[in-house]
């Protein structure tokens, strides 16, 4: 998508664990507001999610032994053309992945393999395979790849909804892109931590287990050796340590079947705008608006919002009669609907209120505002001002 969000993220500097050649992206603390069952694919059937009946705690060494063969190293190459003579440039990246079936299905982060021309997987025994892309979901930052292998060791899926702060957390991955099978341990530091990753709001597990570039896509395990999260990011910055993040495994489970069966998550839709909460007089001055509220900052080309006539600079007054006071409220209202629903949105434009009918059509990966992508791309303009308020995709 061609238009980048104009807002600059604030608060602590947080980078995705695959950054700078390791399958990266950027995070910011969201203080300002800024998902297995077996697929029907013949014999290629990842096992159903199971939770071990074992109630005793394992040692870190036992957890590492139990899952060491289930976490893989991933390396990627991306080819691009550019320069005066259209030279070909090759960039490399690295991350981690988790085996979920005996016949080669592997989960990782979308940002680890996004844009890659080739993806290779290295098992703990040193065997290396070319991987094929099965499906991706940018919204949850989950991807499924597959290698042509048999008799692999899949992880046992846990239940992230039962986690409690203070419980054991063990991370296994490929830090720095070259230290595969590295094990670190800590605790679950926080649940449902709301942060932004590449402009997308996510609710993640927080851990103090050491996470480093290259760990992205690796596993976070509980004291039973069950997978409870897919490592996604760490925080960096002066005097900032012990802040690692993982996608709750239940969120991963929610999308795996669709990714395997269709290559994307069916039934998902997006309004197709990036919004901005203006909640102070200083922000009003910065963005040159005369009222506080939720403003449309950018609009996806070809998305539901553009088709309905929503424009950058509109102040969102209400949705189906409910007054809109924040971007998060707007997102919650939109996500309470299903694909195909119609909503009535009232916006204020040039001092006049305009009522617009919006159809929440399903988005697919070949459409602008593709499935799972919440950022605005190819917009119809943006708010004035240089901006320092984090954006919010909806």
Q: What is the pLDDT of residues 11-65, one digit of tens each?
A: 333 334 443 334 433 333 332 233 333 333 444 444 443 444 455 799 999 999 9
Task: Report the chain's terminal Cα–Cα distance, integer Å.
Answer: 15
Looking at domain 273-393, its CATH class is: mainly beta
What is the CA angle 134-135-141, rounded to 5? Answer: 135
At 30 the pLDDT is 31
At 15 the pLDDT is 39
Among residues 73, 288, 250, which one has the least CA distance to residue 162?
A: 250
Element (H, E) at 196: strand 182-197
Segments of the chain scoring below 70 in pLDDT: 1-55, 81-89, 175-180, 197-199, 234-242, 365-394
- Let me know: does 348 contact 317? Beta carbons within 8 Å: yes
Which regions of the chain carry the CATH code 2.30.42.10? 273-393
At 303 the pLDDT is 84
Copy the structure tokens of residue 306: 């553009």
216 has catalytic annotation: yes
219 exposure class (CB count in 10 Å sphere: 0-12, 13-18, 19+): buried
Q: Could you count the other beta carbons within 10 Å of the beta carbon of residue 240? A: 12
111 has catalytic annotation: yes
Pick among 3.30.56.10, 2.40.10.120, 3.40.630.10, 3.90.950.10: CATH of 10-266 = 2.40.10.120
- Let me know: does 53 contact 159? Beta carbons within 8 Å: no
Residues in the chain: 394
Which regions of the chain carry the CATH code 2.40.10.120? 10-266
Active-site entry in 103, 137, 141, 391: 141
Active-site entry in 111, 235, 251, 375: 111
At 83 the pLDDT is 56
337 has catalytic annotation: no
Alpha carbon distance 69, 99 (integer Å): 9
Active-site entry in 49, 96, 216, 377: 216
């Amino acid at each position: 998508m061609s238009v980048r969000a104009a807002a600059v993220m604030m608060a602590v500097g947080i980078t995705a664990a695959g950054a700078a050649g390791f399958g990266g992206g950027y995070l910011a603390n969201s203080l300002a507001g800024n998902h297995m069952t077996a697929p029907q694919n013949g014999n290629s059937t990842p096992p159903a999610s199971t939770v071990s009946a074992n109630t005793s705690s394992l040692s870190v060494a036992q957890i590492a032994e139990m899952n060491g063969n289930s976490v893989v190293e991933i390396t990627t190459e991306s080819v691009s053309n550019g320069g005066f003579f259209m030279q070909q440039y090759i960039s490399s990246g690295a991350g981690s992945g988790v085996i979920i079936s005996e016949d080669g299905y592997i989960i990782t982060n979308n940002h680890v393999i996004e844009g890659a021309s080739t993806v290779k997987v290295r098992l703990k025994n040193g065997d290396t395979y070319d991987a094929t892309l099965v499906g991706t979901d940018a919204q949850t930052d989950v991807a499924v790849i597959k290698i042509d292998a048999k008799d692999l060791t899949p992880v046992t899926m846990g239940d992230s909804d039962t986690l409690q702060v203070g419980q054991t957390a063990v991370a296994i991955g490929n830090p720095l892109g070259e230290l595969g099978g590295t094990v670190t341990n800590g605790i679950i530091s926080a649940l449902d931590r709301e942060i932004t990753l590449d402009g997308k709001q996510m609710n993640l597990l927080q851990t103090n287990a050491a996470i480093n570039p290259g760990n992205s896509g690796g596993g976070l395990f509980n004291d039973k050796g069950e997978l409870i999260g897919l490592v996604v990011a760490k925080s960096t910055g002066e005097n900032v340590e012990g802040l690692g993040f993982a996608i709750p495994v239940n969120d991963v489970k929610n999308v795996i079947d669709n990714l395997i069966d269709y290559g994307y998550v069916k039934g998902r839709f997006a309004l197709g705008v990036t919004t901005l909460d203006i909640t102070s007089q200083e922000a009003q001055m910065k963005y040159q608006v005369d009222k506080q509220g939720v403003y449309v900052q950018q609009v996806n080309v070809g998305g539901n919002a553009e088709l309905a006539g929503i424009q950058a600079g509109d102040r969102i007054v209400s949705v189906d009669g409910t007054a809109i006071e924040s971007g998060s409220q707007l997102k919650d209202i939109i996500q309470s609907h299903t694909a195909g629903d119609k909503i009535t949105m009232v916006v204020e434009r040039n001092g006049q209120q305009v009522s617009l009918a919006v159809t929440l059509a399903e988005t697919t990966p070949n459409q602008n505002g593709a499935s799972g992508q919440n950022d605005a791309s190819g917009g119809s303009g943006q708010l004035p001002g240089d901006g320092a308020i984090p954006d919010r995709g909806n």
